């Protein structure tokens, strides 16, 4: 259905036309002076010059043309030429009823028939997930869900760092420590053992050790590079060992991602595109796109209009090895073939901005990617501590993702117990823990998603876990409150149904309905800009409007049963919209808290 503002702007535009002015002047906005009016139109001001008339005269003409309007209950032309508007109850009610009747609340699902790939998560095998990977996973999961809700067929791909020197370093270090493993025996022809020779826990020590050694010791580094090459060339033992390392690493990551309610459709990695590289390199050479510079194969991606430095995109290093760029380009080619996406969305730290600009330009210039495929990088900011510096654990280290989750859920458990106690609710320890896990994830995710992705934010455990203010727990608390009213209504024999909407009972309910109508514009913008923060802002407004309504309105004690059914219908609708939105953000509400 049409957005509410669109609909009333059309009505306004028609009135401008009827009064002898231009339709385009009828644009209506939400009032920034809610004490004076609900909506306003400044078209008469804009039209003054065009029509050589005082704005107030135009406004008066338009107000007169709106006489008898069923859309507005009040139209006031005020000096110097504003049109202050109030929407008619009946019109608003019908609009909200139409929303309630549709599975998607009347959203135009403009993505139907098109595909999108979301590349997020991006963990590196053998390195523990850190706080930066939290953002990629949390924002990416939400972006994926939002696009899917818009009707797109969406494929979420983890694109892990499972290739290149980091793997060579690990394999070489394992070889140094356990030279007798069959993987390193060139003459071994049997079946390799099933499990990995090391644990994930070992890997977390092996990688940093190897990485540090390679920085000090040239010969060591050369060995690691040789191992990388052998792996990429497909040496049987190296591939087998690598597969086993990937398997344990993925299993471990899956556990953490599951606990965050983050789920990937594809578990591909940088390695997945490896086999396409030789043909792609040939294509780039034959097409005259790539040339040798200082021994390396590169593609120029500079444009005349560039104001900043734009180095060429490197395709192969001078030793012939492929690199991060190479796998990313080959992966674009693969995704274009597999999904014909209208968009490929990438989530990484914003320090990779220039890198993606190079890769995207290269992909377009070389026609590995069609011109009309939107390659879209979301570069996110840093997670800081209260001191404004990158967040550290309580013991001062770089925080692993797991530490952050634990820190939040611990505090959440404390607050849940405190809240239970103050309400005289005797929850078992197990129940309280379960609730704290659910609410804790919401606290982390909302704390992140309520910021614009590109902005840095402060990881503030105390604020994120608060039941008040712009937080995840506050939103959940609102949902739980609605659920409990609905439960009591049902216990008294009531049948809650959003189809029962039958009136606008007071200003607070009208405000709540108006808040609901922002749904469509919010989702469209959140999807187009990949901005989950817009959904957070919307549900925060909606939750505030609901809580105000709740305090102003007798609901269960209402004696007029028809009115009560209408109020309850509004509760059902608000609950469903809030639940839909938190699902798009990637978390859920408990039954009580």
- Minimal distance, residue 275 CB to ligand ARG, in Å: 17
Nearer to ligand ARG by C-beta: 89 or 349?
349
Among the residue ranges 116-124, 400-408, 515-523, 582-590, the one whose residues contact ligand ARG (CB under 6 A): 116-124
Q: How far is the CB of 32 from ligand ARG (least distance, A)?
A: 40
How near is the Cβ of 348 to ligand ARG at its closest, in Å? 5
In the complex with ligand ARG, the residue whose CB is nearer, 39 or 346, is 346
Cβ of residue 583: shortest distance to ligand ARG, in angstroms?
25
Question: What are the φ/ψ torsions at residue 2 (nearest 5 degrees)?
Answer: -70, 150
- Tokens standing for 163? 């290739």
Stretch 143-182 residues interacting with ligand ARG (CB under 6 A): 159, 161
Rg (CA), the chain: 29
Taking CB under 6 A as the binding criterion, the range among 118-126, 226-234, 361-369, 405-413 that sits at the site for ligand ARG is: 118-126
Cβ distance 38 to 75 under 8 Å?
Answer: no
Please identify the residue of the shown chain whose CB is closest to the bound ligand ARG. Answer: 122
Q: Would the CA dihedral through 240, 245, 246, 250 be positive or negative?
A: positive
Give whichever of 119 and 511 is closer to ligand ARG, judged by the CB atom: 119
- Comparing CA positions, the residue from 23, 24, 42 lying closest to residue 32 is 42
The per-residue b/e assignment along 323-343, b for 16 or more CB within 10 angstroms, e otherwise, is bbbbbbbbbbbbbbeebebbb
Nearer to ligand ARG, 149 or 163 (CB): 163
To ligand ARG, the closest distance from the beta carbon of 159 in angstroms equals 4
CB 38 within 8 A of CB 87: yes
Decide whether 74 or 353 has the Cβ nearer to ligand ARG. Answer: 353
> From the CB of 161, what's the least distance to ligand ARG, in Å?
4
How far apart CA 362 and CA 343 sit, in angstroms, is: 16
Closest to 523 (Cα-Cα) out of 462, 580, 590? 580
> Site for ligand ARG (CB under 6 A): which residue of 346, 464, 505, 538?
346
In this complex, which beta carbon is closest to ligand ARG, that of residue 48 or of residue 138? 138
DSSP sequence for 468-522: SSSSHHHHHHHHHHHHHHHHHHHHTT----GGG-----SHHHHHHHHHHTTHHHH
Using the rule CB under 6 A, which residue among 348, 409, 465, 500 binds ligand ARG?
348
- 433-462: which residues touch ligand ARG (CB under 6 A)? none
Closest-CA residue to 571 (of 496, 510, 502): 496
Q: Report H helices in 197-323.
A: 200-216, 218-233, 236-259, 277-286
* CB of 196 or CB of 345, closer to ligand ARG: 345
Q: In whole angstroms, how close is the CB of 162 to ligand ARG at the nearest point?
A: 9
Q: Tell me whether residue 122 or residue 128 sits nearer to ligand ARG (CB atom).
A: 122
Backbone angles phi, psi at 349, to 5 degrees: -50, 145
Token representation of residue 136: 């990629």
Binding-site residue total for ligand ARG (CB under 6 A)? 8
CB of 119 to ligand ARG, least distance (A): 5
- Does 511 help bind ligand ARG (rule: CB under 6 A)? no
Stretch near ligand ARG under the rule CB under 6 A, chosen from 119-127, 204-212, 293-301, 384-392: 119-127
Contacts of residue 398, Cβ cutoff 8 Å, sequence gap at least 6: 130, 131, 390, 392
Closest CA to 297 of 271, 322, 327, 275: 322
Question: Least distance from C-beta 265 to ligand ARG, angstroms?
Answer: 15
Which of 61, 328, 403, 407 is in the footprint of ligand ARG by CB under 6 A?
A: 328
Strands of the sheet with 296-299, listed across from one edge: 290-293, 296-299, 313-316
Query: Measured between alpha carbons, how far is 489 from 560 in angstroms, rounded to an integer?
Result: 14
Identity of the residue, 77 or 125, whose beta carbon is nearer to ligand ARG in the bound complex? 125
Q: Please provide residue 73's backbone torsions phi and psi, each rounded to the nearest 5 degrees.
A: -95, -20
> What gap in Å lies between CA 591 and CA 301, rounded to an integer?
54
Closest approach, Cβ 335 to ligand ARG, in A, equals 10
- Name the residue nearer to ligand ARG (CB basis): 454 or 525: 454
Nearer to ligand ARG, 353 or 437 (CB): 353
Q: Which is nearer to ligand ARG, 156 or 590 (CB)?
A: 156
> Among the candidate windows 117-125, 387-395, 439-447, 585-593, which touches ligand ARG by CB under 6 A?
117-125
The answer to whether 119 contacts ligand ARG (rule: CB under 6 A) is yes
How far apart are CB 137 and ligand ARG at their closest, in Å?
Answer: 11
Residue 122 interacting with ligand ARG (CB under 6 A)? yes
- What is the smallest separation between the CB atom of 400 and ligand ARG, expressed in angstroms? 14
Q: Please list, residue by residue across 374-397, b when 16 or more beta carbons sit within 10 angstroms of its beta carbon and e when fewer do.
A: ebbbbbbbbbbeeeeeebeeeeee
CA-based nearest residue to 149, from 590, 556, 588, 585? 585
Which positions lie near ligand ARG, rule CB under 6 A? 119, 122, 124, 159, 161, 328, 346, 348
């Amino acid at each position: 259905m049409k957005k509410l503002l669109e609909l009333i702007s059309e009505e306004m535009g028609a009135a401008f036309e009827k009064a002898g002015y231009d339709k385009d002047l009828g644009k209506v906005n939400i009032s920034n002076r809610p004490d004076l009016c609900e909506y306003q139109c400044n078209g008469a001001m804009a039209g003054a010059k065009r029509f050589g008339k005082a704005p107030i005269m135009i406004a008066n003409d338009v107000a007169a043309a709106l006489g008898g309007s069923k859309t507005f209950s009040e139209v006031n032309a005020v000096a110097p030429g504003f049109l202050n508007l109030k929407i008619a109850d009946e019109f608003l009610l019908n609009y909200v009823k139409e929303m309630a009747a549709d599975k998607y609340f009347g959203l135009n699902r403009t993505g139907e028939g098109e595909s999108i790939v979301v590349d997020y998560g991006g963990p590196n095998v053998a390195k523990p997930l850190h706080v930066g990977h939290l953002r990629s996973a949390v924002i990416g999961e939400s972006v994926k869900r939002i696009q899917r809700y818009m009707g797109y067929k969406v494929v979420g791909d983890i694109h892990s760092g499972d290739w290149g020197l980091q793997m060579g370093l690990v394999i070489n270090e394992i070889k140094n420590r356990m030279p007798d493993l069959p993987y390193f025996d060139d003459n071994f022809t049997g079946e390799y053992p099933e499990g990995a020779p090391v644990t994930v826990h070992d890997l977390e020590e092996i990688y940093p050790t190897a990485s540090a050694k390679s920085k000090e010791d040239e010969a060591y580094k050369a060995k690691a590079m040789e191992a990388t090459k052998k792996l990429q060339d497909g040496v049987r033992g190296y591939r087998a060992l690598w597969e086993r390392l990937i398997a344990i690493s993925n299993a471990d990551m899956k556990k953490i991602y599951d606990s965050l309610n983050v789920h990937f459709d594809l578990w591909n990695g940088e390695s997945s595109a490896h086999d396409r590289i030789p043909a792609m390199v040939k294509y780039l050479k034959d097409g005259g796109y790539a040339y040798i510079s200082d021994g390396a194969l590169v593609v120029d991606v500079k444009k005349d209009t560039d104001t900043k430095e734009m180095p060429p995109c490197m395709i192969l290093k001078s030793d012939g090895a492929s690199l991060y760029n190479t796998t990313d380009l080959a992966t674009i080619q693969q995704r274009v073939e597999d999904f014909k996406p209208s968009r490929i969305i990438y989530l990484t730290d914003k320090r990779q901005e220039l890198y993606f600009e190079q890769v995207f330009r290269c992909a377009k210039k070389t026609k590995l990617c069609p011109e009309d495929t939107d390659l879209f990088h979301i570069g996110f900011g840093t997670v800081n501590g209260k001191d404004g510096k990158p967040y550290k654990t309580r013991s001062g280290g770089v925080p692993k993702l797991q530490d952050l989750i634990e820190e939040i859920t611990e505090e959440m458990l404390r607050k849940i117990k405190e809240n239970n106690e103050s309400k005289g609710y005797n929850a078992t320890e197990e129940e309280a823990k379960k609730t704290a896990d659910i609410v804790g994830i919401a606290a982390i995710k909302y704390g992140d998603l309520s910021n614009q992705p590109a902005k840095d934010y402060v990881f503030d455990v105390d604020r994120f876990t608060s039941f008040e203010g712009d937080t995840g727990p506050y939103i959940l608390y609102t949902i739980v409150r609605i659920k409990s009213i609905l439960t009591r209504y049902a216990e008294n024999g009531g049948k809650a149904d959003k189809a029962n909407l039958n009136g606008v009972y007071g200003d607070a309910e009208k405000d709540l309905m108006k808040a609901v109508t922002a749904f469509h514009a919010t989702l469209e913008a959140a999807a187009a800009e990949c901005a989950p923060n817009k959904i957070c802002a919307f549900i925060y407004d909606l939750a505030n409007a609901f809580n105000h309504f709740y305090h102003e309105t007798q609901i269960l004690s209402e004696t007029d049963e028809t009115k009560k059914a209408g109020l309850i219908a509004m509760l059902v609708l608000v609950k469903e919209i809030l639940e839909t939105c938190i699902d798009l953000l990637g978390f859920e509400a408990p039954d009580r808290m």
